[in-house]
Amino acid sequence: MFNLNALKRNRTMRYGVPMFCLIIGGSFGLREFTQIRYDVQRLKRKLDPSLEAKIDVQRQSTMLEEEYEKLKEVNMDDWKNVRGPRPWEDSREYQEQQRSKQDKKD
């Protein structure tokens, strides 16, 4: 009886031990919740096996030399940089202006 009353009055037992339990228990709880988060992300990333096979075939078949040959065929001399519309501009109206300017130059 004496020991139980002494433990109830002890500040370490009243405040320290519950605090350590919360800290240690919280770290285990956070670990479980973050693991659930990563598991869900991993499930969302999974692709259909047939689609994944097609992607793998495309990755293997694309070679650097093939891409270089495609770029050699593109005519870079007639390239023109066209500015896109600003957020406050009407995109259809701006496109019509660009087309009319292009027609006048040709």
For 63-101, how does the pLDDT look when each residue is reduced to its tens digit (9 = 90+)?
A: 777 888 888 888 878 777 777 778 887 778 878 887 887
Q: From CA 84, how far away is CA 61, in angstroms rounded? A: 35
Pair of tokens at residue 64: 């650097």
Q: What is the dihedral of CA 70, 72, 78, 83, to 10 degrees?
A: 50
Q: Record the pTM.
A: 0.35
Q: Which pLDDT score, from 0 to 100, does residue 61 have?
A: 63
* 55 and 47 Cβ atoms separated by less than 8 Å: yes
Q: From CA 58, how far away is CA 52, in angstroms rounded? A: 10
* 70 and 64 Cβ atoms separated by less than 8 Å: no
